[in-house]
Structure 1
Amino acid sequence: MNMVMVNPEPLYVAVSKDLKENKLNLIWAIQNSGTKRICILHVHVPPTLIPFMGAKYLPGSLKEQEDRAYQEFERQNMHKTLDDYLLICQRMGVQAEKLHIEMDSIEKGILELISQYNIQMLVMGAASDKNYSRRMMDLRSKKAIYVCEQAPASCHLWFICKGHLIQTREHSLDEGNVEAASPLVQKVPNSEAEHSLHLRSHSHALVQNHGANLTNPGQELFRRVKSANDGHGGSILDVSFQDDTEGYSSPCNQMGVEVCRDESNGLSKRSPSGLSTCPGSTAVEPALTPNLITEGGRMNDTLYDQHEQPKGEAENATRNAYRETFRREKAEKDFMDTIHMAKASGSLYLDELDLRKLAEEELAKEIEELDNIKSQRDKVKEELQLAHNQKSSLESQISSSELMIKELEQKIISAVDLLQSYKNDRDELQIQRDSALREAEELRGKRGETLRMHVSQLFSEFSFSEIEEATSNFNPSLKIGEGGYGSIFKGILHHTEVAIKLLHPNSMQGPLEFQQEVDVLSKIRHPNLITLIGACPETCTLVYEYLPNGSLEDRLACKDNTPPLSWQTRIRIAAELCSALIFLHSSKPHSIVHGDLKPSNILLDSNLISKLSDFGICHILSLHDISSNNTTLFKRADPTGTFAYMDPQFLSSGELTPKSDVYSFGIILLRLLTGRQALGITEEVKYALDTGKLNSLLDPLAGDWPFVKAEQLTRLALRCCEMNRKSRPDLHSDVWRTLEPMRVSSGGTNSFGLCSERHYQPPYFICPIFQEVMQDPHVAADGFTYEAEAIRGWLDSGHDTSPMTNSRLTHHNLVPNHALRSSIQDWLQAR
């Protein structure tokens, strides 16, 4: 029978975008399709994530143009893959076309295409190629299972895996189309269904041959009855027989008796007379009986005997045919059981081969491990032999060592005696050292007096009348600050803006504090320490450089509606303050502790560069202040300063150390972060940090704080505010190494607080004549400061007027400005 049925409908093959995975399935469909057309069916699933710039984004999260471009790129790749499938069909000489749809679900897209195009035949994958095995009989793909369950009954489905037919789902058609219903299955060679069909056709053919043999006795009987009927003048009734020789379907014999089979055991149902009957069968005996009766009403014995003999032969032949059919069906069943047993035996044989292969691999591993153990055993033997040799060598060394011990004992006894004599010499030298230290301390005190006399020449002394003139007789409108020490006025001194600190008669600070601030600020220079220009000793008045942006306290409070400080500026101010404290604490020969560190004592210049001021109550620590049990510098003093910023351990013990400034620095750092008041700020910040609410506590006026930096600064500040001073971090090795990288990454200034990009130059550093930074500044009679070479050249050329005011100069004497010269040198060095 021809296995390929001509059908105008194409054979649809569902493929994915993986050409390698579906190539074998497509080739199987082409080889088993005969002359049919092939239609490549594909469901395009839009991507759920779009890769862009090294990351993946959800559709719609990027710009519309970028999203649309990537979607179009995916569609072009889909068409390219489908064209590759069509190329395979073209190379195999098959006419092919492609059909695709875009949906979020592949299985639902396949069902939509089946419904939309009324697909009758579809080939799709049963599972991925990596899941294929020779014993695979079920679908393992969720998509295949879904399509098999939900596809219309009119669609015939073939499920393929790695070029092998796994399962078929036939459609429901009319009886006239049964032969064309499953052409692909009919072409599968050596299948069980084809073999079973062959056996059944062979059995039915045998039954038909038996039925053909039975027609001869019936025809002979018909001939004899016909001649008897003719001899009796036609009084005997005619008998008609049905000659069915076209096929065997039930099966039936040629006398019209149909065979009815029981499907459970293959046995035939029999009538009481011994003949098999079926519904709709023709009864022979009633039709013949009237012809066997003569006209006189008697039975014709001859005809009856002639009738009974072929009847019995026919019944025997029919009975033998039934037995032969039953025997052949039993043989067919036994044959199928044998095939199944052979398949099971083959599967068991393959499993046994796999087990044997595993056993051989395990045996090889054990042999390899045994060889390793043997090699390790040989190595241990060698090491053991070496250990024995070392043992004998050590025993000989021990015997020689015992002799050496005895000799050393004698030497130790003599060394103890020598040590005792050395101890006596040491005590004598200790006494000499103490006396030398006392003499050195006396010399150091004398040297300090000399140094103070020399330092007093490094800044200018002003008369009280000059101070009054500079402040317009202390005009209240020029007052820029007020504190417990007195008042601060803005003034013009020698044509330079200055800040004048006037000590109040009832101030907490007296002449000692005034002298200490003069001594400290006249000896040290740092870009983040306020510059002392001069002093008026008779009224305890100090003259500083003028800083127009006021104090850090004013800027945190946005006084006079000034703009708030950004978080970058706050980090830079913290780094500058840390640099100034490191400079003070490491000052030689004596360490300096500020003792009153707070935002109101931190001033800001026109570029918001911080300057630490108010050294009236600072403390100088010397070697005499080292404790007896450690090397920590401390000084016993009465607690002074602002309570909220004071070291709690200093308040309780009266011992002031550099770590006391670290505590105050931690409080200032917390204020820079939060903008809140100092009292109780540590507990508030700790609670916010522990509960994960730090972001709500940061000062919003500073801008959008980087949370990682803010959290790192917060933890650093809390460490600085530890109650136990030993738990506080070191400014140089810990705090500075944290703040400096933050300042650099935030785009701040350099480590000296100077603007690295603009190289800011204070205007009073510039010579009015040369318009350059002065190297040797001198003050002329007009009160202006000039470069010495420039003003001398002006005067030597015959001029007797001021280069700035064009007024006549009262004299030609020039006074060196030591304070300004020192500031310029520090600035140049920092730059």
Structure 2
Amino acid sequence: MELLHPLPPHRHDPPLAADALHRYSPPPSTSSRVEFHALATPPEAAAEEDKVHVAVGKSVGKGATLLQWAFSNFTNPHILLLHVHQPSPFIPTLLGKLPASQANPEVVSAFRREEKEQAMRLLDNYLRICRAAKVKASFMMTEADQVQKGIVDLVVGHNIRRLVIGAIPEGWMKVKRNSRKANYAAKNAPPFCKIWFIYRGKHIWTREASEKPCSLSPCETIETEGTFAAESTTSSGPLPQNSAESSSDTHLEAEEERVNSQLVEVKQEADEAADESFVELLKLEAEATEAIRKVNLFESAHAQEVKLRQEAEDELRTTVKDQQKLLDENEEIGSELQRTMRSIAIINSCVQETDHRRDAAEDELSLIQASISTLWHEKQQIRRQKMEAIRWLDRWKSRGQVGVAHCNGVVGFAEELPEIAEFSLLDIQNATCNFSESFKIKEGGYGAIYKGEMLGRTVAIRKLHSHNLQAPSQFHQEVQVLGSFQHPHLLTLLGVCPEAWSLVYEYLPNGSIQDSLLRRSNISPLTWNIRTRWIAEIASAICFLHSSKPETIIHGDLNLDIILLDSALSCKICEFGFSRLVTEDSLYLPSFGLETEPRGSFTYTDPEFQRTGLTPKSDIYSFGLIILQLLTGRTPVGLVGEVQKAVTYGRLSSILDSSVGEWPLAVATRLADLGLQCCQQYSRDRPELTPSLVRELEQLHVSEERPVPSFFLCPILQEIMHDPQVAADGFTYERDAITEWLENGHETSPMTNLKLNHLYLTPNHALRLAIQEWLCKP
């Protein structure tokens, strides 16, 4: 059943005053309200000539047609889109569509928000069309139960003068009856609004405007109504000739005003009655629609219930079958689970047994590794003891205390010393990741230095260039020489790899003394005590090399770059004896020390080298330059002349390095004199490095103001111990002193005079470190 939507009754035109009141007052509406506006336009702005209002609906295609027509027929228009949002009286729910009054308020509110969002998206589409056409556009939207009434309300409320609206024509210049919006707008829109009716992009009719809009509110219109009528009447008649005519005119005007007032009241009553009838008709229409909807809803619900019941029965039968199938599968899975649990129990027992075996193997491996480490340390200790024995025998030989036969036995004993460790090429490659660039520390003219892990410690591996080496036999001979002695201030050679022409040394993390002087390392600021101790340690190492038997070992390239620092800031000389490893042509190249950049000059080279070649006095000359450089902190170029001049004129303190603190004058003077003596032009004028001179240098860095702890002094020499050794009596002595005591045939303790249980000596590392730490303090 289709319900007809009747139009409001046609209103006859009232007299002038009443008609004016009707046109300037917005028509009452009980079902229409303005919800929100995208553009709040005052009536004065809306009256501008370039504004064109276009009524658009839910069909974007039809609305776009109206916009295209407006774009084509108006020059530079300002398009204002009019849209009336008509809330749906029914709310969709799970049970179907229900009246808004019967639905859940929250559901109604959510549905209303969704409707408004759809309306805003619709207007966004229209605005995009306007932007694409480069036309200025805005919109106004209101909410009303009837679209046509909402359009008229917007026209009245905003004094809209030009409106474009869609229409459906029946014939030429005639609007069809079922086009309710266009028909309603044509009949009820204020006369000041000019309306264009468009169908499919074609203009079919125009309702011309008959007067201008009024900006007064309804209250203002009622207040000025009598004045307006009186003025109109007065302006139409001639001027009064006498008082009788004036009285007659006044009476006529009052009568006319009374009649107009009655007409206005009658019109208002008629309008109210028409509106009430229209509202009542809408209510009846809504009730009929609701009844039909309920009937349809009940029928649909019944059909849905029958369908759901059938589906539920089918689902129940399927579920029963699936349940029975699951029960069967459950039984089968249960039996399979039992078999799996038995297998897991067997596997667990095997895993536990394997774990026990693995733990036992790991424990055994740890023991083996510990044993290997212990054996390695014992081997090193034995090698040091044998080397000490060789030194004792060499001293006895030099003093004439042993015969020739005994000396031959000593030589044989030296030949029987175990060789240093030899590593395969695979060992070296594994330690350096096949000589990876990431493991390379530095590279020089004689080879590259790599950092690696071997023998359970960090090592430095020097890979020599084969073209700088002599015959392999000479290489092995020199390696044996380097590995045949041990000294606390000489870099220890741990092993060799003949296949890779590589030497394995202990790794020292603190760089060289040159790095410390140039602030290229992370070592804390140096003091004069430390520098003086370094001079003593370097002198001790050179004295050891020069006193070696049967051949004197000459370093040949002493400089600050090849003197390295260990973790205790004790120095160690590296690259000693390498003059035998290089050819005569390569001898003039920079040494391949840890500093790999070429120095460009042989500043430390003996001036007599070209005439005499390498001699022990060549190392003495380099040692003198090292003393002067540590004393002044300057480069060695021209340093000898500067120090000689300062000493001659009594201005030695002016060239001392003040960054290490205040040098004691006696210490600085002694070191400057020794450095100048070592740097004499002729080698015959340079001093020898003797043990007594080394001891004197070792005492220089001890401050006279600080008392030396008694346990730092050797009981025999009453001097600070440099290499403390524990004897069988439990006392600690300087190595040289207790060794000389035992060599002289004493088998008793120097302290208790009791016989010693054995003659072995054990290094006292803890006391040695304590002495070094005390000496390093300013």
- Indicate the TM-score class for this superposition, using the shorter chain for normalisation: 0.3 to 0.5
| TM-score, normalised relative to structure 1 | 0.33
Normalized against structure 2, the TM-score is what?
0.35
